[in-house]
Amino acid sequence: MGLSHQLRNHAEPIWDQILNHKFISQLGDGTLSLDRFKFYLRQDFLFLVEYARVLAIASAKAPDLEGMTRFATLLHTTLSEEMSLHRRYCAGFGITKDELEVTKVAPATSNYANYLLAVAHQGTMREIAASLLPCQWGYYEIGLKLATEGDLSNSNSYAEWIRTYSSDEFRELADWLRGYLDQLGRDISPTDHKHLEQIFLMSCHYEYQFWQMGLSKESWLT
């Protein structure tokens, strides 16, 4: 078993909670309220901006040409396909470009982005890959689960979102990042393995908090 699946097994309890989160279940059957989805979209847009910065650092830190190229490709996919998806959704739901630009970052968004940026700036390539994998892998598994169990008819306003994240393109990116981490994780010490477990698990917890934020429409206390 490769390192990526070992980390996933270690994080299984929180991973299952993510896959079965109420926000995600309601995305799948189309019952999620539009105000919650719009709140999530605006926060995810802000998160993706910072996520792109992490990918840029990863491309610069990658020890090989393959890693540099792949992270640059993932950066391009994030900035083009995912950002494009968000802009289309936002426009369709009446969220203008100006409204996106003045959106205030929520605590969960800020905490998750800052964590990934800290790992990217301070960590090794192996640590960066471990911190990124729960998002990339998790979104594809969520998309696949909802594509299998959810409502993909035109009556579900979120069917396009489901099709996007269950697509072959996202599967291939998740597969590559898992394989890359497995390659970087060969013959690591028990101490390093434990450290990567902590990094992976922390990102999983931030993923959960992000979905919970969408459900509660979390904001800073004023």
Q: List active site positions.
A: 135, 207
Which residues lie below 8 Å from residue 209, measured CB to CB, with a gap of 6+?
Answer: 108, 111, 112
**Token pair of 123 as six digits:** 């960590």
Alpha-carbon distance 85 to 100, whole Å? 14
CA-based radius of gyration for the chain: 17
Question: Is the Cα dihedral 189, 185, 178, 80 positive or negative?
Answer: positive
State the alpha helices, DSSP H only, in 30-106: 34-61, 65-77, 83-92, 97-101
Please calculate the CA angle 197-201-202 and round it to the nearest 5 degrees: 120
At residue 102, φ and ψ (nearest 5 deg) are -105, 10
Alpha-carbon distance 46 to 201, whole Å? 22
